[in-house]
Amino acid sequence: MRRLLSVLFVASCVVLSVSGCATTSAPPQTRALVVEAEPSAALEAGVAMLTARGFVIRRADVDLGDVEAVLAVRPTLDVRYRLEATEQGTRITLSGQRGGQPVPPYVFDTLLIDIQERLGELP
């Protein structure tokens, strides 16, 4: 009986010590841009831009306007490309994580400029 209690105590300590190590990451920061193009054209331009820069498209949902891509560098760069139809046009939102940490929004500025150029909407 005493041995069973000691085994249970040790197992409980191990479980508590491991669960105490779990941390939550901060929510990703986003960078957004509204373009005049239709969502389908903006989606096509975004996927073309990501693949031209070496990203691998993990998932693309045309109906939801949602693309997930990854760049195989160390640490990996995960990018989410979302589209939303608005009255002003199509809102493009980029967010991402590098090594499990949110990527600062300014990192996406060159990607958004590339998309604007592909759509012929540079200022």
Beta bridge partners of 85: 90
> Tell me: the pLDDT tens digits for 97-115?
998 899 999 999 999 999 9
Distance CA 63, CA 97 (A): 24
Structure tokens given for 94: 């980029």
> Tell me: the pLDDT tens digits for 39-61?
999 999 999 999 999 999 999 99
pTM of the model: 0.76
Q: Which domains does the chain have, with CATH numbers?
A: 26-119 (3.30.530.50)
- Spell out the alpha helix ranges (H) of the chain: 2-19, 39-52, 109-119
- Report the pLDDT value the prediction gives residue 84, as an integer from 0 to 100: 96
